[in-house]
């Protein structure tokens, strides 16, 4: 199935204000010339709030994968340290590189906890999903509902739903929806960082697993609607 590069159930978030100016500062620091601490401090003066916003967004992504707390903080620190500094010259590429670095270390952490937790499904196996075909463009209405839930009063309900999902469904869902990776890139990340049991992931396997997660989300949304109607 053909898919648009970087397609996601939720449309990409807009680049934050000031991102291009921040990237330009970083790019100037990377001219190959030695810099003393004072020069670096002057170059980064006034960017603390922006850096905090980047860290907060990465923490939100990490917490969806491994839960709230110190583990997510460590993942953010490791991801920032592992991100290729050259990607900072372009805010879009920089955001993608940061998310990829974070998801890579998160997948490794999940695999250490449970070596079989991210095992690729058997080839040809298909669940009895409620969605016959993954069509991200047609899922716009569901994406808006998910955005409302993850940012609004139902935030805790969504986090509990994510926490209760099997690790493999949660990981695929977060990589596709929150990180915005394609099925192919998600398969590559699982294959590279999910341990020996995850060596057989393919884009088709990701799509099937994602479909199962979407069915679970649809069930959650239906339950929330019924509960709201009955209250």
Q: Is the four-CA dihedral 16, 18, 24, 29 of positive or negative sign?
A: negative
- CA torsion through residues 71, 72, 74, 79, sign: positive
Which tokens in the block code for residue 79? 């991801």
Quote the CA–CA distance of 141 and 147 in Å, as a whole number: 10
Say how many CA atoms lie within 13 Å of 152 toward its Cβ. Answer: 7
pLDDT tops 90 at residue 101: yes
Q: Cα separation of 42 and 162, whole Å?
A: 42
pLDDT of residue 177: 86
* Banded model confidence at residue 46, pLDDT cuts 50, 70, 90: low
- Is the Cβ–Cβ distance between 121 and 83 less than 8 Å? no
Evaluated on CA atoms 126, 129, 131, 134, the torsion sign reads: negative
pLDDT at residue 203, rounded to an integer: 93
Contact 146, 155 (CB under 8 A): no
pLDDT band with cut points at 50, 70 and 90 for residue 105:
very high
Mean pLDDT of the chain: 76
- Whole-angstrom distance, CA of residue 79 vs CA of residue 121: 28
In the chain, count H helices and then E strands.
10, 0
Report how far residue 220's alpha carbon sits from residue 231's, in angstroms, rounded to the nearest whole number.
17
Q: How far apart are CA 186 and CA 176, in angstroms?
A: 7
Q: So where are the chain's domains? A: 14-113, 121-231
């Amino acid at each position: 199935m053909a898919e648009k590069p970087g397609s996601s159930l939720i449309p990409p978030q807009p680049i934050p204000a000031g991102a291009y100016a921040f990237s330009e500062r970083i790019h100037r620091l990377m001219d190959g010339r030695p810099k003393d601490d004072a020069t670096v401090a002057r170059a980064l003066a006034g960017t603390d709030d922006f850096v905090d916003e980047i860290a907060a967004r990465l923490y939100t992504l990490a917490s969806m994968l491994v839960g709230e707390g110190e583990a997510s903080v460590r993942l953010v620190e490791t991801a920032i340290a592992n991100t290729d500094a050259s990607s900072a010259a372009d805010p879009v590429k920089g955001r993608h590189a940061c998310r990829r670095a974070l998801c890579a270390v998160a997948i490794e952490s999940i695999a250490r906890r449970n070596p079989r937790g991210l095992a690729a499904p058997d080839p040809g196996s298909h669940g009895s999903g409620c969605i016959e075909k993954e069509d991200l463009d047609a899922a716009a209405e569901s994406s808006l509902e998910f955005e409302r839930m993850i940012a609004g009063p139902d935030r805790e309900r969504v986090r509990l739903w994510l926490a209760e999902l099997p690790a493999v469904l949660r990981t695929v869902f977060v990589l596709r929806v929150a990180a915005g990776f394609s099925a192919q890139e998600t398969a590559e990340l699982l294959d590279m960082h999910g341990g020996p049991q995850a060596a057989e992931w393919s884009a088709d396997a990701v799509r099937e697993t994602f479909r199962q997660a979407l069915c679970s989300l649809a069930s959650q949304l239906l339950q929330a609607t019924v509960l709201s109607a009955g209250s």
